[in-house]
Structure 1
Amino acid sequence: MALPLYLVGLSHKTAPVGVRERAALDPAAGLPAALAALGKAVVLSTCNRTEVYGVGSPHRARALLLGRGVAPRHLYVKEGVEALRHLFRVAAGLDSLVVGEAQILGQVREALFLARKHGATESLLEKAFQSAVALGKRARSETGIGAGAVSVAYAALDLALAVFGDLSGLVVAVLGAGEMAELFLSHLRGEGVARVLVVNRTEERARALAARFGGEAYGLSALPRVLRQADVVVASAAAPHYLVGPEDLPRRVKPLFLIDLALPRNIDPRVARLPYAYLYNLDDLERVVEKNRRAREGEIPKVEALIEKALADYLEWYAGHRVREAIRALRISLLREVARELPQADPGFWHKEAGRRAHPWILALKARARDFLEGPPCPQECPLLAFRPPGL
């Protein structure tokens, strides 16, 4: 019987940013309802992907994403070992927009944490995600896949440098004070910008981030004033609606360069129609990171070798897991059988006799653990399978 894991999802490789916005699940609102509908599942929802991992049939997960306005052509469905391999590739950074970026590893860990919080995990998913996190750490410590500053935020800086050539003397505004904003500002160090303006709904968080990078802090109410001063705007705020529209950008002499890293987007796409505004979003970063992919190609085979080793380790664990479950079911079945045959006997004798009868079957189960993993679930083919509980 094959590994009963499944994956249903979409990513920057299969869907444009508008579709990914519809699929994204907010941890506070959309995620709890989705997990309640799915049963046992882990949902990985980031700016570049929404993926549902579960055990059994993928039909509910597929229906959930289709119900959020995602077209079938944007979805991929993987089952068994291929679902697990995909998760491992994601955690190792091989499936990221920026190959080898570190942020995804924290997001995989957070997805497992949220699933646990809502009581949505079970043993196979727990082991799969724990193994993925461990693999992601190994990939970055044992290969060069994560060498250097690589992330979507770094790609945004690369894009700004490609446009301006030199950021010296420019005013950079950052909308949002979360992890993405912090990453961008850490990469911006040393570029010689004149001023850094941090805008956030919670001004206290803006002050904390601005203090770390020698910037100025503003509340959201000051955004129009900040936009008038900025040469570069990098938006990564968590907001359910656009924060910047064409009406917020009055005509100006100097061009304004905007990068929207948020999902849902912070900047109305109509801003791109303004003759003095140049707007880029997550999809546009694909071209910027192509050079990064080429530079890291030499490290990918090393990471893929680690992935195959992690897959083998997981399947070995799973074979043992199935055998243990089968042994438990076998012992219960034989104990009931002995109790029916010898109702007057002492319960201690029942357990001893059941153990004696189970012994040869247990030896056979252990000897055939590998075959048991992929073998057909047919009692005629293998009588041991008759003792499996449903779903084992």
Structure 2
Amino acid sequence: MGRKIKNFLDEEGLEGYVFLQTCNRAEAYFLSDTLSSSVPEKAIERSGEDALSHLLKVASGADSLIVGETEILHQLREAYNEFNGSHGFSSDLEEIFDWALKFGKKVRRETDISSGKTSVVSIGLDHIQEILENLDKKKAVVIGAGKIGAKAARYLKDTGVQGVLVANRTYENAVELAEEINGESYRFSKLPELIRHVEIIVCATGAPHYTLSKDKIPVLEKNKVLLDLSVPRNVHPEVIEMDKIEYISYEELTEKARENLVDRSGEVKKVKRMIRDEVEAFLSEDPLEDLYKKAGRIRRKQLEKAMKELKKRDEGEVLRDFSRSLTDKVLSAVKHEMKSREENWEND
């Protein structure tokens, strides 16, 4: 769908737009009075108030598969930054996206739509921290260097554990992940020895059989916390029942994630009311307030330009050019606004 939308934008000759593509959405935002061709098949066309409301739903996370996720706001900002400044990008579209991004922050600040973690990896590692308290003197072994194992290893590094050891059947993958997190890599055959020297065991393999069986566990002198992120379960029941193993199951983590999602879903109604009020206020905005925002955007752009020029030219000369350019552009915006309103009055 993303390619079809991009082709549509090219066919329409649209240059000033924002194109957002993530793993589960492809969207284009642009300003146009008319379209010469139909939108791609299966694409949803929105305009006016409906389009503004949808943009705010996206920015707030209310339209995400994982309600309230924060990554979408970052992706929306990246898409905006990529296309802002391109040929044909209008100040009106810039204003709309500045407004939407600010709303995304406001929603997360004033509601609980993003509260409670929904990632089983982060929930699991929070659970480990509750059990062991301080992790700065603890070591962990991550079994598996795939997507989940890599995510767990990065989380562990960020929590400040003393060391992260990575064991994997394909040794090259263990080396690659260990280098990324400044950890240590080992062959799978070294697992019993590694388990003896760590406090945390993370099983993140995806094999169709048990990868962590009792014969892989040495005689334990101290308690170990075993976080099982494997799907299907790769930890043998005999290991789970061992006296010095405190086991955290994947099912337990997914249940907690579901609970947090239910809590977030209850906030969606509140967010939808905020969206309705925000769009209504945006469309009925005072003309002077609109002019003030335009002046603010002009000031920011001219200041950014002047800051760059200061590295190459005389300070006094740059400041004179900055003040002259700022005055000219602000007065031009005021003149344009007055002319536009005069034409509207005549037409009425």
TM-score, length basis structure 2: 0.45
Identify which of structures 1 and 2 has the higher relative contact order when contacts are C-alpha pairs closer than 8 Å and 6+ apart: 1
